[in-house]
Chains A and B, each alone.
Chain A
Amino acid sequence: MPQVFMPRLSDTMTEGTVSTWTKGVGDRIEKGDIIAEIETDKATMELEAYDAGILEQILIGVGTTVPIGEVIAVIGDGSGPTSNGTTGKGASNGSPKPAPVSDAVVAVAAPVAEVPAAVPTALPDLPAPVPAAANSGQVKASPLARAMARDAGLDLSIVRGSGPGGRIVRADVRHAVDALATSGKPNAPAQPGAVAQRAGLGASSSADDEEIPLNNVRKITARRLVESMQQAPHFYLTSVIAADALVAARARINEGLSAIAGDSGVAVKISVNDLVVKAVAAALRAHPEVNVSFGADKLIRHHRIHVGIAVALPDGLIVPVIRDADTLTVTQISATTRDLATRARAGKLKPDEFTGSTFSVSNLGMFGVDQFTAVINPPEAAILAVGATKQEPVVRDGQVVVGHTMAITLSVDHRAIDGATGAKFLADLTALLENPLATLA
């Protein structure tokens, strides 16, 4: 359920005040709609919704000041609890749409006490163990449940917790793992702790359809991509590069490798994609401002360059990582990629081999795709979509001639990287790909 946070609207802003809610609880919100006006230390600015849906909860009242990053409203599909939480945080100034305080607000404002302190062992002010507030958006699980889920590769966000305050406990993880193992279906009905199936947007099947249960990879892929599209405002920059030098370089390198292989007959061959990865790594080294992740209240700049390579699986997608790609030779990148991709398809990757990438490359050129846009792989801030290398009529020195082209499209998280920064990176990357020997320098 997307939450609306108090945004940082100026560099010096540390807190903001809602001066008006322009939408009310229950209103339909489209992406980009103005839902509130926020008073900062400098000016009053409009707050746009990043997500479409129903405004389910308003958590602070007009006139209330909260630090940046604090959740001020919740946008959902309309099925969640609705509340106008203007009683939550000292909203003495009232709200434009007074609404009765619902139970949901109380649930949010006052964490449910799990158990009373043991009598007679405790004074009244002793805290009993208190689970995190409901609807905090964070998965609540016992450390043991987390460890078990990690070992089983289970995504805890799809498990329903039966412990106090919805905490996921060992029994819930056991049921979920058993349910997945025995039926392939995540949902074992009538099990209070079984996996909760996330409803698609009104998707249902009739006799003409077939239901295919989601496997874990598919579930995680779906969740992360939704997360990415919902949270990271994408913009796209495309460049069509003159790929003659790239194609020629690849051919020459492969001839050379074949000659070195000699009688052993085991010739290593590099791909265009290997050269792209090498160029991306070199461009990232020159543009550290692109090798970043967006944190809620900070930008994380990665000093090491780990390039993820999107690999299609029969039933999902995985992004193995080439670590420190800027320090590897093209043949090393090639060998690493081949090894990772082979093991990825066999389901044999270790967790640290598909996590930790700082930038990704997705290549659909082998399918003849001219050009496409890719969804950013969070928490990275950018991804490069690589199209096919093809022969086309191009204009060179005022003449139409036959040349190789390749379209590359950079998807950028605008929270972390601005247009001009992305464009400069893409320009340098284009230059490197048009003169691939420079990447070897």
Chain B
Amino acid sequence: MAVITYRQALNETLRSELLRDPNVFLMGEEIGIFEGSYKITAGLLAEFGPERVRDTPISEEGFVGAAIGAAMLGLRPVVEIMTINFSIVAMDQIVNHAAKIHTMFGGQSTVPMVIRTPGGGGQQLAATHSQNLEVWYAHVPGLKVVMPSTPADAKGLLAASIRDNDPVMFIEHLALYNTKGEVPDGDYVLEIGQAAVSKAGTDITIVSYSRMAAVALDVARRLEEDEGISAEVIDLRSLRPLDRATILQSVRKTGKAVVLEEDWLSYGVGAEIAATIQEGAFDYLDAPVRRVAAAEIPLPYAKPLELAALPDATALVKVIHETLDATRFRG
């Protein structure tokens, strides 16, 4: 088991999938000669050639549509959209075509396409380039939405997404690319739709995903060490399908839950989690489910304002304390 970055894990997985299946090919803006805006595709053009690693014009709607057609005819395109913000341009292709073709045409054709795209804020890229739009896609039946938070999950879930016969939105995070972690060697494929209990605990459940799952895990470890609070951390890993069973199992044990999400609060992922919990574990709740999310404003460019608008460890700790106090946890 090697310790590598999230970026390396993605790069190596793309490479091994290209080697494993000749139907797999990559397309996207600047992924070839420039080796990707975030260097995820470094070295792949040189190794696999322009037939399988294709640079595209700046035309998201066009190349996503081309990928859908290729997928319908048996190829396995892995499309890179430079950031999730640009996927909005291809929304019609993704929502109205990729998600619907399998059911609207009576199962004649599947769309085994992966759209890899990073989301998230915190890089001073300003409001239009810092969004968390995952919930738009998670809302749509026919799509799968996968959001790994660790290098190992990046590997196991990217391999699973490429081998999946449904269109998958594989959403990375700009702030995770340089994070390191142990990654299993060899062929490593995870099941899509299975949340991870990244830390077991008994006092409170923290539900999160993507970069915030890493923040949650860090907070939980510190709270355990400093204050003896045993928090259980659930990393959703996939928003659709959503692993409700794992969430409910945890809340039935702890009786309290906080959701940490980087998207905006209203109609966000936390709203779905909170609804899931009250539907499935109402009699186990000792306090209201709380949500920690981004301020509901277009994300500012100025660093202090950007930091103030994004959810962070401090905000999470505060809400965890409030929730525990509401149940007289600390006497």
Interface residues of A (CB under 8 A from B): 114-115, 118-123, 126, 129, 142-147, 162-164, 167, 169-172, 192-193
B116 proximal to A (CB < 8 A): no
Rounded to whole Å, the gap between the CB of A179 and the closest CB of chain B is 15
Q: Which residues of B contact A192 (CB under 8 A)?
A: 328
Given contacts A121-B265, A142-B327, A169-B326, 15 further A-B contacts (CB under 8 A): A118-B290, A118-B292, A119-B318, A120-B295, A121-B311, A123-B295, A129-B288, A142-B286, A143-B284, A143-B285, A146-B283, A147-B283, A163-B327, A169-B287, A192-B328
Task: Report the nearest B residue to A168, measured CB to CB.
Answer: B286
Summarize B's interface: helix, strand, loop or mixed. Answer: mixed
Residues on the B chain within 8 Å of A122, using CB: 265, 295-296
Q: Do A171 and B327 touch (CB < 8 A)? A: yes
- Complex Cα spacing A121 to B326, Å: 19
Contact assessment for A163 and B328 in the assembled complex, using a CB-CB cutoff below 8 Å: yes
Contact of B326 among A123, A126, A146, A163 (CB under 8 A): A163
Q: Is the CB of B287 within 8 A of A147?
A: no
**Of A120, A143, A163, which contacts B308 at CB under 8 A?**
A120
By a CB distance below 8 angstroms, the chain A residues around B283 are 143-144, 146-147
A145-B319 Cα distance, complex, nearest whole Å: 21
Q: Is B290 touching A129 in the complex (CB atoms < 8 A)? A: yes
Point out residues on B near A: beta carbons under 8 Å: 255, 265, 282-288, 290-296, 308-309, 311, 315, 318-319, 322, 326-329
Taking a contact as CB atoms under 8 Å apart, the answer to whether A143 and B282 are in contact is yes
B328 touches A193 (CB 8 A): yes
Which residue of B255, B295, B328 is within 8 Å of A172 (Cβ)? B328
| Contacting residues, chain A, for B311 (C-beta < 8 A) | 118, 120-121
Q: Nearest chain B CB to A387's CB is how many angstroms away?
A: 45
Are B287 and A163 in touch, CB under 8 angstroms? yes
A172 to B328, alpha carbons, bound, how many Å? Answer: 9
CB distance from A232 to the nearest CB of B (A): 31
Most chain B CB inside 10 Å of its own CB: which residue of A143, A146, A167: A143
A120 CB contacts on chain B under 8 angstroms = 295, 308-309, 311, 315
**Chain B residue, CB-CB nearest to A147:** B283
CB distance from B285 to the nearest CB of A (A): 5
Q: Is the CB of B326 within 8 A of A115?
A: yes
Pairwise interchain contact B292-A121, C-beta atoms closer than 8 A: yes
What are 29 contact pairs spanning A and B, CB under 8 A?
A: A118-B290, A118-B292, A118-B311, A118-B315, A118-B319, A121-B294, A121-B315, A122-B295, A123-B295, A123-B296, A126-B265, A129-B290, A142-B285, A142-B287, A143-B283, A144-B255, A145-B286, A146-B283, A147-B284, A163-B328, A169-B287, A169-B326, A169-B327, A170-B255, A170-B286, A170-B327, A171-B328, A172-B328, A193-B328
